[in-house]
Amino acid sequence: MCYSMTALDSYARTEVMTSSPAQLRTMLLQRAVRESHQLVCDIERDNGEGILQTGNRLRSLLLELMPAETSTLDATLVSHLRSTGTYLYRTVADACGRRDRKAAGQIVKFLEFELDTWRQVMARIDSDTTGSSSMAGTNLAG
């Protein structure tokens, strides 16, 4: 089956292809927050198909957010990020399986906190490196 690329698809693809790793992480976190809100709605509406689809998308996003085993980041940080990602992944699976609105709400809160923290870190780095190119090649997104 062939699909034609719409203008929106083209724009989104260009945005992803031209973004820095830090910007990509921001986009992934934003999408994960939107999907977690959708999961809560699907659970509240008892929408089985929606729960399945949203849960699958959210778990895929969480896997993308986890740093690779071969990451150049500090090993302790990588371990912590992977543990957090694994916890969220399991919580999504549990929330979907039990249709647990409370667990889904906890995922929303956690991801919103993580997105807010990421934005603060990026703002801090931007303010610290304004006029300096010392961080230009640093991959902080893992």
14 lies in some domain = no
- The domain tally of the chain equals 1
**Does 53 fall in a domain?**
yes
Predicted pLDDT at 1 = 41
Domain harbouring 30, CATH code: 1.20.120.340
In a domain? residue 104: yes
Mean pLDDT by 10 residues, the chain (142 residues): 53 73 92 97 97 97 89 85 94 97 97 96 86 52 56
- 3-state SS, the chain, equals CCCCCCHHHHHHHHHHHHCCHHHHHHHHHHHHHHHHHHHHHHHHCCCHHHHHHHHHHHHHHHHHHCCCCCCCCCHHHHHHHHHHHHHHHHHHHHHHHHCCHHHHHHHHHHHHHHHHHHHHHHHHHHHHHCCCCCCCCCCCCC
Instruction: Give the predicted TM-score (pTM) of the model.
Output: 0.80
User: Does some domain include residue 107?
Assistant: yes
Tell whether 92 is covered by a domain. Answer: yes
Answer whether residue 94 is part of any domain: yes
| Structural domain of 53 | 20-122
Residue 9 counted as domain residue: no
